[in-house]
Structure 1
Amino acid sequence: MRGEEESTAPADAPRRRTDVRLGLPALLVWGTAVAGVWLTPGMLALLCSILLVLAVVLLAMSARARKPWARRRSFLTTTAVALMLAAAAAAHSAVPSSQRHDGPLAEAVASGKSVVAVLEITGSPRALTLPGQAGTPERWSVPARTEEMTVSGNVIRTRAELVVMGGRGWNNVVPGQMVRTAGKLRSPEPAQQEAAILAASMAPGAVAAGDASAAADSDAGPIWQVVAKELRGRYVAAASFLAPDPRGLLPGMVTGDTSALDEGLNAAMKTVGMTHLTAVSGANCSLVLGALLVAARSLRLPRLPAAGLALAGLGMFVVLVGPDASVLRAALMGSIAIASLAGGRVGRGLSFLCLAVIGLLLIDPGLAASFGFLLSVLATLGIIVLGPPMMEWTPAVVPRWAAAAWAVPLSAQLLCGPVIVLLQPQFSTYSLLANMVAAPLVAPVTLLGTAAVPLVLWLPWLATALIAVAGTFSAGVAGIARTAAGLPGASLPWPEGPFGLVTMVLLSVLTLAGVWAAVRPRQLVRLVFALHARTVVLLEFAERNVVTGGKRSPLPARFPRPARRCGVRGLEAGAGRGRLRHCTRISGRNPPWRLPKPHEPKRRRRMLPPGGT
């Protein structure tokens, strides 16, 4: 009896419900930010006005709602706040939209004129490599912001986002650095936030002292960015004693520097869907944040000081690897989670994700059109929504860490798969298996490798030891990628476009159902029996109530009516002999090929042969 009470206790306990109230504001802000990339400033102004008017109307309706309609009032207020946030995103998107469509900069871009520009670097350089190319990249893509541009003798002072495509010298710039260069402007691709693309014809140079936007000592960039770049360079040099694969993979997994990554290993990781491990992503931020929090709590620090220390360490890590979109998203989510933990409220991962999405889109609406940001959000959403149920499906004898090892990558892959197909129409057959095998190796690489970064300057011998251990684990990750990529059928072609998206969604749903059926066979059997019982009830109902022309009528002659003396009706377990347990005992007096009419006498009913008169 005690065991039965204990087994029924969890079922009677209240279940924690998922808080989805922030889902509507996040979707509205995202949709408005996407529209801001395509619409003109006039259309954005109209959209912003409509959103504000709707918000005012909903607030007025909420104020007039009476007490019994408390839920309706809450919904109206939440929707009004969501519309206001969407209007703010539309207003923020109007500034880059005006730079793309109106003004002297838009005219210069449309004419493709040569310019001399003073730029502020806003991101880390990204190598542009061609398929099959080996060695040092020759072209680099660098995000920047204009400070001053000279076009045909006219000086344009505006702050617009653009992308610089340059050669040698552009790989050495750091975020925050002021440079001077020359080149030709051309229009960006559709649905891009940048106002232009500058094809640089010269290396970045120092800013002249007479430039209006020049600072006294801004040529080298902010001191923290210079220190971060120096640390990344020294870390790559400190890992040079490793084998070729870990020599390039370890700095990429720790600091985001993929300059030494072998092209063959990079292609293998793309084939098996492990490219998220070649650079710093949200998983690395989560590991660093969790390790710092555990270390602070192990020192018996109170909750608030421990949260502050963890956030400070996370900020230093973001500065080290560079403020990319995925890192910023993960850092913001970690900050919200730590703040909620300090306040004593945990377990609302979906709310944290929605807050992170709203905050990042209000800061930079251009992220709404980024596939990298979309994949990052979808992966986190899958882990939050699908991960815990998958772990609960796992039998109790399986350790929790083992359940998370397969549930986390599968839940992320199920939601990211349809979007990945749009970018690269192929199916990685061994992606899930490779990520599951490599998952236990990622944490040692991230934690030991990150701990070695500051020791490169202070204790080089200890940093070398940590790099050797982390390099061993990263060599295992590289070996898994190369082995999986070499298996037959590692990469299969997939349909392109919307059809490929729909088929991948269907495959994800079938995969989820198959996993549930594999880990819960008893529930599968119960579901089959329940469906069988429902089917029996539907067949009984259809047999008793056949509808013809909108009116109920008796069964047609070709379906013999079961005799009442069988004691049962239709498809029931106690019926006599026959197919599907259907009673077929009939007296034989009324042949099934004809039903007698009510006005006929009994004797005539028995004597009428088929077709008789």
Structure 2
Amino acid sequence: MAVRSEQDLRLLAPALAVWLAALLGLLAGWWAAIVVGALAASAGAMGLRQSPVRGDRRRVAFGALLVCGVLSAAPLGVRLLEAEQDDMRGLAARGGEAEMSVTVTERPRPVRSPGYGDQQGGSRSVVIAGELDRAVVGGDPVASTGRTLLIAPFDDWSRILPGQRVTATGSLAPPRSGELTVGVLYVRGPPVISGGAPWFQVAAESMRAALREACSVLPEEPAGLLPGLVVGDTTGLSSRVEEDFLDSGMSHLTAVSGTNVAITCGAVLLTARLLRAGPRFAAVTAGAALLAFLVLVGPEPSVLRAGVMGAIALLALALGRHGSALPALACAVIGLVLWDPAMAVSFGFALSVIATGALVLVAPRWSEMLARKGIPPGFAEGLAVPLAAFVATAPVIAGMAGEISLVAVAANVLAAPVVAPATIFGVLAAALAPWWPGAAEVLVHAAAPEAEWLIFVAREAAGLPWAVLPWPSGWWGGLLAALLAVVAVVALRRRGVRICLALLLAGALLVAVPGQVISPSWPPAGWAITACDVGQGDGLVLATGEPGRAIVVDTGPEPGPVDECLDRLDVERVPLVILSHLHADHIGGLRSVFESRAVGAVAVGPGRRPDWAWRSVAATASAAGVPLLELSVGQRLSWPALTVDVLGPEYVPPQDSSEEDGTGINNTSVVMRAATSAGTVLLTGDVELAAQSDLLASGADLRSDILKVPHHGSRFALPEFLGAAGARVALVSVGEGNRYGHPNPVTLDVLSAGGALIARTDTDGDAAVVPDERGPAVVRRGRQRHPC
């Protein structure tokens, strides 16, 4: 049996003291940092008095605690006091207009906005961190040099580099509590650049851009993922891949951290060893590679933590001292929190430190235990590492996100073998791309299978039933998850508990597999129209009567769900995608309709608002090489088993109109009446009261067997309009737990009173309508048919 080396815990208490001082100082007030620092310094001084013998190992711990306590009480407390009493903080709390000159400190971070289907994966804005150089609020200068955040338009600000000095005007807003930031500026317009970035930042951005260009030879999803794996550049990462990685517990792979540093430095050290270089030369070479890699990635908090720890480990190698990794982690925590106290409240920093601690303290023990039970050593380590990281970080993730991924361990085990080669190929491609694009493309092609495997694992894991378990968020949710993790670890040490758990899992498989795999009930035979479960939005599919072909009406708020629905329906060709109107919850998934299937054209109504959405739809159609058509009232579209008549809109504001309110855009929805094998369908988009009145007044034939309920079942539905439809089936496309209160109970009552059978995507999932002897029937995914 392997002899377990004792961990050096002497720096653990000083690191916790610094972290706690900064954490409480930010959350409770600057005075809390001074109190914690004073208590830590007092404890360290008392410990030194009680261990006067030189050479006593405890003296190092007490001495470090004393020093860290003093540093926490003095410079750290003073720094928090200055940020708390900064003049800009009070002005930001009152709002108003401001002009700021800021030195940018981090790369712009895209703000993901579900439904905004642009080329940046759903980003309309970026967040830029910086240090204030000068500020003018209400015409008066403000004496402040604190931190600030700029929330700015993506197109104008996404290319800003760290080190540049920019001037911006906009609206002031207060920062979130518990931060060093003294103000937030919502920027209008482009930046005014008054200072260039350092040469090394320019060179790093040139390498990142060259890497993105080299990756463009790959399909869209691997091309967006590879820069994220290598340098944390997620600007091209699609929303669907990002969501899959989150749900499968693999999102850490796109946030550069200790794994990337270990792989990069490990490759350099291995090369030096093969060349028979000495340990000091190898350490210096790896240190140079580490510095270059950190500049390439950018000064992100998780990257700096990994870099500091890596530098300490390399220093130990150069000096010939192979100490424990735990002191290196503690030194990284102390140095980084003192340098940037805001890291103390960063969830990413906490997850990184906790995961590293688990890998140092827990994973080796579990690996040995699994090896003793007969599991080969390599497999034992491969299981122990992700399991230890998952158990340690699950409470933090649960409290932060309000959910727990139940597939994270298995997904990371399957992903682990390809992470290192993908990273190495990607780093080499980034280094060569600016000077030798051809060689970079060869390396990118070598990394493509690994990236595709990661996407496959994340998508399959995220698509499993109960892949993500909802959980109470906040402190109590995190404490509950921590308690259950401890109970589970203790209980699973007992053989009887493990046997019971295995029996429960086997029973669950016996129940789930026959129903979902052996005899699947989806898609239902002869389906005519399906309301896809796309969340808070619309996504409908109408069969054309030709195998594998269907018309898509609206695509939901984000990529992924509508694509998955089409896959479940075995749709391989889409002759036409119809977008009822240009709100985000109807166009956000457009790009994903093109994935793995042929699309004939995209059709829209006469509305062109909002502008950003129209540009996005036009760009997506152009990139796919398909025509963009306009539908008009009276037009008829026909396929073998489907006919669509356009009934509305009756009124559309002029193209130069400033009418961009939600109601106005909703009322420009294309309204259609379709004849299908299951009966007539009235497709209403999001029309509200005015448009419904116009349709009633126009004398259009609104009678239908099936009604797509307007605007997700909102209260803005005329009973006369619903009555004119007289539908026997009402499809409500709506997201679970949405903040709009959809569907409205009054609207549902009116439909029920009219004799309609209601199917809701938030409770029923995908809902298909099929022909039946007694009229249209609804098949809810995984449930029995319910004839009307």
Normalised TM-score (structure 2)? 0.59
Deviation at 1:359, TM superposition (A): 1.1
Q: Does 1:440 align with 2:423?
A: no
Larger CA deviation: 508-517 vs 228-237: 508-517
Q: Does 1:231 align with 2:207?
A: yes
Q: Does 1:158 align with 2:144?
A: yes
Deviation at 1:313, TM superposition (A): 0.2
Match of 1:336 among 295, 308, 312: 312
Deviation at 1:82, TM superposition (A): 1.1
> Alignment identity in percent?
33
Q: Which residue of 1 aligns with 2:483?
A: 506
Change (3 A) 1:346 1:516: farther
Q: Which residue of 1 aligns with 2:284?
A: 308
Q: Which residue of 1 aligns with 2:709?
A: none
Q: Does 1:321 align with 2:297?
A: yes
Q: Does 1:78 align with 2:54?
A: no
Q: Does 1:411 align with 2:400?
A: no
**Letter of the structure 1 residue corresponding to residue 325 of structure 2:** G
Q: Which residue of 2 aligns with 1:369?
A: 345
Q: Which residue of 1 aligns with 2:771?
A: none
Once the two structures are superposed, residues 234-262 of structure 1 have per-residue CA deviations (whole angstroms, 9 ceiling, x without a partner) of 21111112122211111110121111111
Larger CA deviation: 125-134 vs 356-365: 125-134
Q: Is the 8 A contact 1:28 1:83 kept in 2?
A: no
Deviation at 1:365, TM superposition (A): 1.4
2 CA distance for matches of 1:112 and 1:521?
58
2 CA distance for matches of 1:233 and 1:205?
22
2 CA distance for matches of 1:492 and 1:41?
38
Q: Does 1:31 align with 2:34?
A: no
Q: Does 1:354 align with 2:343?
A: no
Does the residue aligned with 2:295 lie in a helix, a strand or coil? helix
Match of 1:460 among 437, 443, 452: 437
2 CA distance for matches of 1:424 and 1:120?
32
Change (3 A) 1:326 1:194: same
TM-align CA RMSD: 2.6
Deviation at 1:479, TM superposition (A): 0.5
Match of 2:162 among 136, 159, 175: 175
Does the residue aligned with 2:192 lie in a helix, a strand or coil? coil
Q: Which residue of 1 aligns with 2:364?
A: 388
2 CA distance for matches of 1:519 and 1:304?
52
Q: Is the 8 A contact 1:147 1:157 kept in 2?
A: no
Once the two structures are superposed, residues 71-126 of structure 1 have per-residue CA deviations (whole angstroms, 9 ceiling, x without a partner) of 9x754663353133133134333454334432432332233232221110000111
Change (3 A) 1:312 1:262: same
Does the residue aligned with 2:445 lie in a helix, a strand or coil? helix
Deviation at 1:455, TM superposition (A): 1.2
Q: Is the 8 A contact 1:238 1:464 kept in 2?
A: yes
Q: Does 1:110 align with 2:110?
A: no
Change (3 A) 1:401 1:323: farther
Q: Is the 8 A contact 1:29 1:82 kept in 2?
A: no
Aligned length: 494
**Letter of the structure 1 residue corresponding to residue 203 of structure 2:** V
Match of 1:194 among 181, 186, 194: 181
Structure 2 gap ranges (5+)? 500-788
Once the two structures are superposed, residues 48-88 of structure 1 have per-residue CA deviations (whole angstroms, 9 ceiling, x without a partner) of 566656655655x34xx665xx79x7546633531331331
Larger CA deviation: 428-437 vs 510-519: 510-519
2 CA distance for matches of 1:445 and 1:519?
42
Match of 2:114 among 126, 131, 147: 131
Deviation at 1:328, TM superposition (A): 0.9
Change (3 A) 1:510 1:106: closer
Does the residue aligned with 1:169 lie in a helix, a strand or coil? helix
Q: Does 1:88 align with 2:50?
A: no
Change (3 A) 1:347 1:521: farther
**Letter of the structure 2 residue corresponding to residue 188 of structure 1:** P
Deviation at 1:438, TM superposition (A): 0.7
2 CA distance for matches of 1:204 and 1:120?
12
Matches within 5 A, 1:213-252: 219-252=195-228
2 CA distance for matches of 1:57 and 1:518?
46
Matches within 5 A, 1:46-57: none
2 CA distance for matches of 1:66 and 1:49?
22
Deviation at 1:354, TM superposition (A): 0.7
Q: Which residue of 2 aligns with 1:145?
A: 131
2 CA distance for matches of 1:270 and 1:133?
19
Q: Is the 8 A contact 2:491 2:497 kept in 1?
A: no
Q: Which residue of 2 aligns with 1:18?
A: 7
Larger radius of gyration: 1
Does the residue aligned with 1:473 lie in a helix, a strand or coil? helix
Q: Does 1:259 align with 2:242?
A: no
Does the residue aligned with 1:362 lie in a helix, a strand or coil? helix
Deviation at 1:464, TM superposition (A): 0.9
1 CA distance for matches of 2:161 and 2:117?
24
Q: Does 1:484 align with 2:438?
A: no
Structure 1 gap ranges (5+)? 1-9, 208-218, 523-613
2 CA distance for matches of 1:302 and 1:394?
36
Change (3 A) 1:303 1:151: same
1 CA distance for matches of 2:52 and 2:419?
55
Q: Is the 8 A contact 1:393 1:516 kept in 2?
A: no
Change (3 A) 1:420 1:159: same
2 CA distance for matches of 1:505 and 1:58?
32
Q: Which residue of 2 aligns with 1:578?
A: none
Q: Is the 8 A contact 1:33 1:90 kept in 2?
A: no
Larger CA deviation: 349-358 vs 375-384: 349-358
Change (3 A) 1:479 1:114: same
Q: Is the 8 A contact 1:121 1:177 kept in 2?
A: yes
Q: Is the 8 A contact 1:19 1:351 kept in 2?
A: yes
Q: Is the 8 A contact 2:257 2:306 kept in 1?
A: yes
Question: Which of the pair has the greater relative contact order for Cα pairs under 8 Å at 6+ separation?
Answer: 1
Once the two structures are superposed, residues 463-511 of structure 1 have per-residue CA deviations (whole angstroms, 9 ceiling, x without a partner) of 1111001011110000011111111121122233444323322332344
Change (3 A) 1:419 1:41: closer
Does the residue aligned with 2:144 lie in a helix, a strand or coil? coil
Q: Is the 8 A contact 1:116 1:151 kept in 2?
A: yes
Q: Is the 8 A contact 2:18 2:37 kept in 1?
A: no
2 CA distance for matches of 1:383 and 1:261?
29
**Letter of the structure 1 residue corresponding to residue 353 of structure 2:** V
2 CA distance for matches of 1:400 and 1:133?
47
2 CA distance for matches of 1:85 and 1:156?
34
Q: Which has the higher strand share?
A: 2
Change (3 A) 1:347 1:100: closer
1 CA distance for matches of 2:286 and 2:203?
21
Q: Which residue of 1 aligns with 2:449?
A: 472
Once the two structures are superposed, residues 397-448 of structure 1 have per-residue CA deviations (whole angstroms, 9 ceiling, x without a partner) of 6443322221111111110000000011222121111111111011111111
2 CA distance for matches of 1:221 and 1:343?
36
2 CA distance for matches of 1:143 and 1:261?
21
2 CA distance for matches of 1:519 and 1:241?
54
1 CA distance for matches of 2:333 and 2:292?
22
Deviation at 1:35, TM superposition (A): 2.3
2 CA distance for matches of 1:333 and 1:179?
33
1 CA distance for matches of 2:477 and 2:64?
36
Change (3 A) 1:166 1:514: same
